[in-house]
């Protein structure tokens, strides 16, 4: 369960999405400073590195429960700890992955997600040959019909959706009915959910489309 | 090379990024309609399904070289073909992947990227044990020192960056100097590039942060 932890402070509740998307950039940079032996960082320094306005950095960090010192700025070690905690990376959020195809299997293999608070504890697929707990990266894969039982046992909060487009909505409905409360949608399909369910879309193919288009533009400028 | 193909029409050059990000949603939906045997689709239908304003859909599609018919709308088969072509998914863009760790190896395993125009033809890493062309999903992995030679032979346009944060900038500089012209950055580090180089950031961890925060918010409303 993710209900009780330190970052449940009122000011974190309505955090603007752009801020939430920038904070991990700051975190990565400050971790880099730490590995270089730095002990303090200023918001000006972060701003310069990330290429964001320094007043924006200060504003973003005002949501986080940390105060800097005049002239020297924030303590690097403290800022890392506070940001990781604030962003939810220090608590493991239990997740199931649905659709163990090419992308789904790839994500099961990415152990790095655990460092950011996402623990995928099981995968599900419609393929019969995957039933019975095939292991991928030590994560068992079950037939989708086993989802209700596994959900009873493991109480996963998050569903990672990597099914084909034509199954995206039906799988979504099925797992929400079974108690999944947040969806990380990797399909290029716009799934519909009740208002109480969280959705984050990671549209890798949309990013490719933007990249290809910009690349073309540059080729033509030459 | 990606320089010459059908979607190089002037109106595609300055396409707004939000439009470019919505078009793949439309494409996925229209493909779904095709699999259901539908022959026509209206912008109203797309708007309703994707939950976007229908005038926005019409405007987005005005960038694409297709015209609908009064009352019936767009021909499904034609719209799919035109969108796939326009988005660059029908041309293979040659890519190298840098950093064959957990996420990097996972992406090498995702054969689905090819369907969207991204062909990863080699991976590179600093680990000596990966040198000499270890195969992952039939894609050879080389030591990073072999990059210049491989680039001469294969002329990759795109670099997929999955190295650790502390190497993100140095790898970026190295591969741009070697001729890579677009970067798909999966690290949480804000890499800097010359203006002529395209960058798309896929910040999976930032998406997790947003998801965790929203989940907390909902837990507290209960």
pLDDT in tens, A86-104: 999 999 999 999 999 989 9
Domain with CATH 1.10.10.10 in chain A: 10-86
Which contiguous run of DSSP H or E holds residue B74?
strand B74-75
List beta partners, residue B140.
Answer: B135
pLDDT at B14 exceeding the cut of 70: no
Closest alpha carbon within chain B to A19? B210
| Contact call for B212 and A93, based on CB within 8 A | yes
Q: Which of B116, B184, B188 sits opposite A24 (nearest CB)?
A: B188
**pLDDT at residue A13 in the model:** 57
CB contact under 8 A, A208 and B117: yes
Give the per-residue pLDDT at A221: 63
Neighbours of B219 (CB within 10 A): 15
pTM of the model: 0.87
What are the chain B neighbours of A113 within 8 Å (beta carbons)? 204, 208
With 50 as the cut, is the pLDDT of residue B3 above it? no
Kindly report the nearest CA distance between residue A128 and chain B, in angstroms.
21
pLDDT tier, A76 (very low <50, low <70, confident <90, very high otherwise): very high
Among B16-20, B79-83, B91-95, B182-186, the minimum mean pLDDT is found in: B16-20
Partners of B94 in beta bridges? B119
A14: how many CB neighbours lie within 10 A of its CB?
Answer: 9
Restricting to B residues 44-103, those with a Cβ less than 8 Å away from any Cβ of A are 49-51, 87-89, 91, 93, 101-103
Q: Where in chain B is the domain with CATH 3.40.50.720?
A: 93-206
Q: Residue B10's pLDDT is what?
A: 47
Quote the ipTM score. 0.87
Cβ A147 vs Cβ A96: under 8 Å: yes
Question: Measured between alpha carbons, how far is A96 from A112 in angstroms, rounded to an integer?
Answer: 16
| pLDDT above 90 for A75 | yes
B11 pLDDT band, cuts 50/70/90, is: very low
Domain A93-206 grouped into CATH 3.40.50.720: yes
Question: Residue A51's pLDDT band (boundaries 50, 70, 90)?
Answer: confident
Residues of A with Cβ-Cβ distance to B35 under 8 angstroms: 166
Q: Looking at the predicted structure, is the pLDDT value of residue A10 above 50?
A: no
Answer whether residue B185 shows pLDDT above 90: yes
CB B94 within 8 A of CB B104: no
Class (C level, CATH) for A10-86? mainly alpha
B93 class by beta-carbon count within 10 Å (0-12 exposed, 13-18 middle, 19+ buried): buried
- Mean predicted confidence (pLDDT) in A199-214: 92
Q: What's the rounded mean pLDDT across residues A118-139?
A: 90
| Angstrom distance (rounded) from CA A146 to CA A124 | 8
Q: Are the C-beta atoms of B82 and B6 separated by less than 8 Å?
A: no
Contacts of B95 in chain A (CB under 8 A): none
Residue-wise pLDDT for B192-209, tens only, equals 999 999 999 998 989 999
A155 interfaces chain B, CB cutoff of 8 Å: no
pLDDT band at residue A133 under the 50/70/90 scheme: confident
Q: Count how many residues are written for chain A.
A: 222
Contact B51 A190 (CB under 8 A): yes
Residue A73 and residue A39: Cα distance in Å, rounded?
A: 10
Percent of chain B residues topping a pLDDT of 90: 70
Within a 13 Å sphere around the CA of B40, how many CA atoms are in the beta-carbon half? 10
> How many other CB atoms are there within 10 angstroms of residue B135's CB atom?
10
Q: What is the pLDDT of residues A151-174, one digit of tens each?
A: 999 999 999 999 999 999 999 999
Q: What is the DSSP string of B140-194?
A: EEEEGGGHHHHHHHH---EEEE-S-HHHHHHHHHHHHHTT--EEEE-SSS-----
Task: Find the radius of gyration of the CA atoms of chain A.
Answer: 20
Q: Do B89 and A207 touch (CB under 8 A)?
A: no
In this prediction, residue A203 has a pLDDT band, given cuts at 50, 70 and 90, of: confident
* Residue in A69, A59, A71 with CA at minimum distance from that of residue A23: A59
The residue in chain A having the minimum alpha-carbon distance to the alpha carbon of residue B20 is A210
Q: How far is CA A116 from CA A46, A50, A89, in A?
A: 21, 20, 4
Judged against a pLDDT cut of 50, whether residue A4 lies above it is answered with no
């Amino acid at each position: 369960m993710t209900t009780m932890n330190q970052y449940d402070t009122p000011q974190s509740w309505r955090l603007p999405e752009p801020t939430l998307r920038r904070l991990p950039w700051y975190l990565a940079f400050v971790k880099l400073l730490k590995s270089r032996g730095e002990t303090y960082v200023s918001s000006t320094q972060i701003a310069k590195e990330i290429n964001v306005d320094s007043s924006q950095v200060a504003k973003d960090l005002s949501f986080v429960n940390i105060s800097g010192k005049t002239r020297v700025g924030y303590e690097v070690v403290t800022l890392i700890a506070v940001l990781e905690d604030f962003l939810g990376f220090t608590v493991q959020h239990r997740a199931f992955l649905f659709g163990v195809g090419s992308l789904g299997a790839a994500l099961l293999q990415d152990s790095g997600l655990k460092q950011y608070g996402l623990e995928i504890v099981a995968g599900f697929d419609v393929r019969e040959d995957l039933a019975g707990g095939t292991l991928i990266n030590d994560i068992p894969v079950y037939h989708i019909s086993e989802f209700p039982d596994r959900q009873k046992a493991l109480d996963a909060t998050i569903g990672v959706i990597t099914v084909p487009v034509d199954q995206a909505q039906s799988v979504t409905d099925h797992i929400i009915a079974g108690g999944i409360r947040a969806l990380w949608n990797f399909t290029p399909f716009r799934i519909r959910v009740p208002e109480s369910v969280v959705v984050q879309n990671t549209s890798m193919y949309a990013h490719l489309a933007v990249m290809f288009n910009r690349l073309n533009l540059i080729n033509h400028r030459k």
